[in-house]
Amino acid sequence: MDSKTTYFPLLTTLSTGGRVLDLSTPRIMGILNVTPDSFYDGGRHHRLDAAVFHANSMLQDGADIIDIGGMSSRPGATIISPQEEMDRILPVIIQLKREFPQAILSIDTLHGSTALEAIRCGADIINDISGGTYDASMADIIATHQLPMVVMHMQGEPGTMQHNPQYNDVVEEVLQFFRERIQTLMQQGIRQLIVDPGFGFGKALHHNYLLGAHLDRFRALGMPLMAGISRKSMVTKVIGTRPENALNGSTAMHMYLLVKGVQILRVHDVREAWETIRIYREFAMAAADA
**In 10 A of CB 239, how many CB atoms?**
12
Burial class, 8, CB count within 10 angstroms (exposed 0-12 / middle 13-18 / buried 19+): exposed
Ramachandran category for residue 132: left, alpha or beta (phi over 0 → left; psi -120 to 50 → alpha)? left
Contacts of 58 (CB under 8 A, 6+ apart): 30, 32, 66, 270
Strand partners, 149: 126, 193
CA distance 274 to 260: 17
Q: How many CA atoms lie within 13 A of 124 on its CB side?
A: 21
CA distance 46 to 39: 14
The residues assigned a catalytic role are 232, 266
Q: How does DSSP assign 164-224, residue by residue?
A: S---SSHHHHHHHHHHHHHHHHHHTT---EEEE--TTSS--HHHHHHHHHTGGGGGGG-S-
Q: Do the Cβ atoms of 68 and 105 come closer than 8 Å?
A: yes
Q: Specify the DSSP class assigned to residue 105.
A: E
CA distance 114 to 285: 41
- Which of helix, strand or coil describes residue 117? helix
